[in-house]
Amino acid sequence: MNITPMIINGCPVGADTTLGVVNLVSTSGVADSAATLGVINPASGEVFAQVPAASSAHVDAAVAAAQAAFPAWRATPDAERQRLLHAIGAALEAHMPELMQLVMQESGKPVNGLDGVGAGMEVAGAIAWTHVTADLPLPVEVIQDDAVARVEVHRKPLGVVASITPWNWPLLIAIWHVIPALRAGNTVVLKPSEYTPLATLRFAELANAILPAGVLNVITGTGEVGAALATHAGVAKVVFTGSTETGRRIMQGAAPTLKRLTLELGGNDAGIVLPDVDVRAVAPKLFAACFHNNGQTCACLKRLYVHESIHDALCAELAALAGRVVVGDGADPATQLGPLQNARQLAIVESFAESARRDGGVFLCGGHRRPGPGYFFEPTIVTGLSDGSRLVDAEPFGPIVPVIRYADVDEVIARANANAQGLGGSVWSADPARAAALAQRLECGIAWVNEHGAVQPDAPFGGIKQSGIGVEFGRHGLLEFTTLQTLRVAK
Ligand code: NDP
């Protein structure tokens, strides 16, 4: 089975030379990785590819390469960096079918997917984000320019950025981390999830054909490799997307060297449906907001609060939609929902279903894993629960959603806000102005009206409370990869 190499200082690393891969011993004195990790196709549960398991020496070598590349990359004119990033966008576009195939095979995501959310969207999004981010300006701000002094504020890169990405949107999130970091003049060491390293490695290979050596390095391995990278003294900033628990560990590990952080962590987004909605019209949108990518998106709708006057009617519509949704291998173009991404996530989702049963939940559909190979779980809708149940209070990150009855809108806003997470939230109504006023009372980083989960490359996205620190996307996101220097020239 082929071993897809890591990339350190522009060289493929981690497999032996018989595979036509450069041996790191000959280039930077670090031994090749003997160990490999299998990559599993979650639709079959079978290993279909291998990647190297990086050692601590590989982590050191990758950080050293990024440090060595930093001065020249920082000094590269802005316009040239933008040109190279656009070239990366073009390379992604030229390899779109191959990247879609890798994303589909390693993540289980269908090619098309429910509501168009699939591997195709992931790769198209990666291309769009690359181009929009490449075009973002980083102007010098002039605070004062008079007879006394000229005072300017400059944005400088930070140094080496460590990017640690999860398995739910592996390529897109790598792009969200890497492209703004490079745009601002930083160099990067990227560590994808051990479950989904392949599309990221291919992206890094394509990018390395365009970028100077050492500007973008990628190492593969388990969470231990992520921890070694995130705590490395040579790293100036960590950008991380994943669980709140790991985010906390990264924050602790950043303290000794005061690393800058952007943490995009879990969410337990509430959606509030007002009594004036057209139930039949709104049901498919709510269903897609809850179930796209099998609920494995940080900003999926995870707690659905529905006014008591329409609760039963909406539940019936949602259950009917669940009955019709096509679950299967993502390789089949008709598939709308694929498998869970990994066996551990499937076990987490099963345990949420068991908790809901114990708490007296009424299962309108689903509730079980599907027999046979792969990590499939039936789309599941549970009612009869309230706040205080695990399925309502915590994020399952899978195709299981509680529908919760409410009577009073002020009370339901308070219930939606009574949660440690604060990523997104939505209000659904025939009166968008009223819904927008209510949405602004939700304690979350992004509030939607009559939709849930839409993001765009030019508007900031990020959680508050325990959903994270900082934002990504657009000018606000770009600035997180910079530090300020105030320049005061006396006259
Ligand atoms: P983790 O947060 O553990 O993993 C995310 C990334 O961090 C992976 O690359 C992982 O590597 C790496 N990692 C793990 N431990 C460390 C560490 N100590 N230091 C640095 N990096 C580390 O997520 P899980 O895969 O365990 O998923 C668990 C839960 O996290 C899910 O049920 C879901 O609730 C949430 N989650 C949220 C995501 C989001 O988009 N906000 C995405 C994924 C998960 P490796 O995979 O190789 O272990």
Domain 269-457 listed as CATH 1.20.58.60:
no
Kindly tell me if the per-residue pLDDT of 271 is higher than 90: yes
Position in ligand 1 atom list of the atom nearest CA 267: 41
pLDDT at 25: 40
Q: Which of 9-13, 15-19, 46-50, 375-379 has the lowest mean pLDDT?
A: 15-19
Q: Which of 17-21, 48-52, 201-205 has the lowest mean pLDDT?
A: 17-21
The structural domains of the chain, with segments of one domain joined by +, span 6-265+467-488, 269-457
Q: Which two structure tokens, joined as six digits, stand for 52?
A: 């190297």
pLDDT at 1: 75
Fold adopted by 6-265+467-488: Aldehyde Dehydrogenase; Chain A, domain 1 (3.40.605)
pLDDT at 15: 54
Q: Which two structure tokens, joined as six digits, stand for 61?
A: 């070598």
CA of 242 to the centre of ligand 1 (A): 4
Kindly tell me if the per-residue pLDDT of 22 is higher than 90: no
* Strands 380-383 and 400-406, sheet pairing: parallel
Ligand 1 atom 18, closest CA? 227
Ligand 1 atom 26, closest CA? 243
Per-residue pLDDT tens over the stretch 318-350: 999 999 999 999 999 999 999 999 999 999 999
CA of 195 to the centre of ligand 1 (A): 10
Q: For ligand 1, which residues put their CB under 6 angstroms from it?
A: 164-166, 168, 193-195, 222-223, 226-227, 230, 241-243, 246, 249-250, 264-266, 298, 345, 348, 395, 397
Position in ligand 1 atom list of the atom nearest CA 167: 43
Catalytic residues: 264, 298
Q: Rounded mean pLDDT of the chain?
A: 95
The dihedral through the CA atoms of 159, 220, 58, 226 has a sign that is positive
CA of 168 to the centre of ligand 1 (A): 10
Per-residue pLDDT tens over the stretch 95-121: 999 999 999 999 999 999 999 999 999
Position in ligand 1 atom list of the atom nearest CA 173: 40
- Cβ proximity of 319 and 365 under 8 Å: yes
Kindly report the number of other CB atoms within 10 A of residue 422's CB atom.
22
Ligand 1 atom 25, closest CA? 166
Question: CA 189 to CA 217: how far, in whole Å?
Answer: 5
Question: CA 188 to CA 182: how far, in whole Å?
Answer: 7
The alpha carbon torsion through 341, 345, 349, 355 (nearest 10 deg) reads 180
CA of 171 to the centre of ligand 1 (A): 15
Prediction pTM value: 0.96
Residue type for position 57: A
Q: Which of 246, 268, 348 to mutate to test the pocket of ligand 1 (most atoms within 8 A of CB)?
A: 246
pLDDT at 21: 39
pLDDT at 206: 98
CA of 246 to the centre of ligand 1 (A): 6
Per-residue pLDDT tens over the stretch 423-481: 999 999 999 999 999 999 999 999 999 999 999 999 999 999 999 999 999 999 999 99
